[in-house]
Amino acid sequence: MKRSMFLICASAIFLSMLVLPTTTSAQSPLPTGTVTVDSSTPSCPTSDGWLSGVTCKHATVSCPESNGSASLGITYGYKTPSSPKGTIVIFTHSGGTTPDAFPGSEATIAGAYYNSNYQVVQTAWDSDWEDESSVGSGGSIGLAACRPATFLAFVATNLFGPIYQSNTSAGMCVHGTSAGASAAAYALAWYGAYQYIDKATMVSGPPMADIEEGCIEPIDPNVQVCVPGPPYQFGCNVNNSPASWSQAPKYTDATMSMRAWTGDSTGDRGTCRTGMPAGTTSTANAAWKAMSIVDGTIGIFTYKNTNITAWLCANVNSADGLDDGVMNDSSPEAQLFFHSFTSLSQISGLTVNAVTNCDGDEGAANIIAVPPSNYSPLNGLQAVEFDMAQDPTNACFARHKQ
């Protein structure tokens, strides 16, 4: 495909003009890469979930050579209101290959964000962003996460940058569902996006907080989500009902994808959720842990100028014709990420919401879903939209000041 000369380094000079604070953590973030925008213009039809009137582009995202991940294409569409209050990038679930995917309601959410005067950036990867090889042979999901992290940095420089120059109260924000929430979490924890992301909304995720816990056999005990007090777990909404719940972190409906993304499809004891009586090997367990968001080595969990709101299914509608009341790993895996935060000395703000009556096991952002009582009379979908676009405390606005 013919390229323009528009080669953008994700660490471009303007990004530094957004006054990115230097990290005081013992660890340093991993480097991001470059984004090369094609000269062609792809089609972004509304029938696929793109907003009407988006400016549609295709680009190739390349990570540093030291990362090892193959370059991967992405189609992105952005739409900018006349007086934008900020920029919101949306990542969908699974491989992120469509701009709208059930049960994320991303097309509806994108429209609501735009109508609230935010520039909206929708995304669709050419193939699953989690596959480090990009050809189905898998690898480290953590290293593959350089791709969405690089794209976020590109947007911060090239789309959000001009908005911030005109409006220093504007926020640079990200919304992710399930694996899309993992993309956002990896960007923050591994790739330094906490230096410019003002707000992150994570719906039913991140489910890759501890991949070892999802893959290991024999299966580890259930995880208590929002550990009950006193003291009550930091960040958990005091209006949650139930206040706490227990669920196994083992991968269920995501097992086949996780096997492909981690390169563990042989069926032996090195395979995620192998099913073999002897269980998974210590070597495989260690490899899964090393590529997790909460890996114990790379991850950074001090985001003093970033606000995060999570929407986790505490139970599932028992007659929706989908999962019929059966929960999956998304909330216990997310707990393993959010439990890393213990006080406001680490983060600008954290709200972990228990959503009941989810439409499917990850359908927290849905019209039948019920958020905590402080959002009444809003449904789950409306509450997610309100939190990002209108909430006076949690909304997308500048927290990184010049």
Give phi and psi for 5, each to the nearest 5.
Answer: -90, 20
Element (H, E) at 143: helix 141-144
- Specify the pTM: 0.93
Give the number of domains in the chain. Answer: 1
β-pair partners for 309: 201, 351
Strands 347-355 vs 303-313: parallel, antiparallel or unpaired: parallel
User: How many alpha carbons lie under 13 Å from residue 222 in its C-beta half-sphere?
Assistant: 11
With respect to residue 329, please indicate whether it lies within any of the assigned structural domains: yes
Q: How far apart are CA 19 and CA 30, in angstroms?
A: 19
The pLDDT confidence band at residue 8, using thresholds 50, 70 and 90, is: very low
- Structure confidence by residue, pLDDT tens digits, 120-164: 999 999 999 999 997 777 899 999 999 999 999 999 999 999 999
18 vs 49, residue with greater confidence:
49
What span, in angstroms and rounded, lies between the C-alpha atoms of 301 and 267? 35
The answer on pLDDT for 49 being more than 50 is yes
Cα 170 versus chain centre, distance:
21
274 is a domain residue = no
- Residue 317 sits in a domain of what CATH number? 3.40.50.1820
Q: Is residue 400 part of a domain?
A: no
Name the one residue in this structure whose structure tokens are 């593959």. Answer: 144
Average confidence (pLDDT) over 265-291: 87
Query: Using the 8-state DSSP alphabet, how is residue 264 labeled?
Result: -
Looking at residues 58-81, what average pLDDT do you find? 97
Q: Answer yes or no: is 379 within a domain.
A: yes
Q: Considering the chain, what is the average pLDDT of its residues?
A: 91
Q: Assess contact for 75 and 55: CB atoms under 8 A.
A: no
What residues contact 13, with CB distance under 8 A and at least 6 apart? none
Is the confidence at residue 362, as pLDDT, over 70? yes
Please report whether residue 41 resides in a domain.
yes
Checking if the pLDDT of 219 tops 70, the result is yes
pLDDT at 33: 98
Confidence of residue 26 (pLDDT cuts 50, 70, 90): low
Assigned token pair, 62: 């390349």
Provide the residue range defining the domain that includes 305: 3-249+290-389
Model confidence pLDDT, tens digit, residues 309-355? 999 999 999 876 666 678 999 999 999 999 999 999 999 999 999 99
Q: How far is CA 301 from the centre of its chain?
A: 15
Residue 117 backbone zone (phi > 0: left; psi -120 to 50: alpha; other: beta) = left
* Residues 148 and 186: beta-carbon distance below 8 Å: yes
Residue 234 has pLDDT above 70, yes or no: yes
Q: What is the structure's pLDDT at 402?
A: 53
At residue 300, the pLDDT reads 97
The pLDDT assigned to 278 comes to: 87
> pLDDT at residue 27 above 90?
no
CB-neighbour burial class of residue 40 (10 A; exposed 0-12, middle 13-18, buried 19+): exposed
What confidence score (pLDDT) does residue 321 get?
A: 66
pLDDT at 14: 40
Strands 34-38 and 3-9: antiparallel
Q: Is residue 356 part of a domain?
A: yes
Instruction: For residue 242, give the 3-state DSSP assignment.
Output: coil
* pLDDT reported for residue 138: 84
pLDDT at 320: 64
Classify residue 332: in a domain, yes or no.
yes
Residues 6+ apart with CB under 8 A from 387: 201, 309, 351, 394, 395
What's CA 319's distance to the chain center, in Å? 28
pLDDT at 322: 65
Interatomic CA distance for residues 25 and 19, integer angstroms: 18
Residue 195 lies in a domain: yes
* pLDDT top residue among 31 and 25: 31
Classify residue 358 by its DSSP letter.
B
* Cβ atoms of 98 and 34 closer than 8 Å: no
Instruction: Please state the length of the chain.
Output: 402
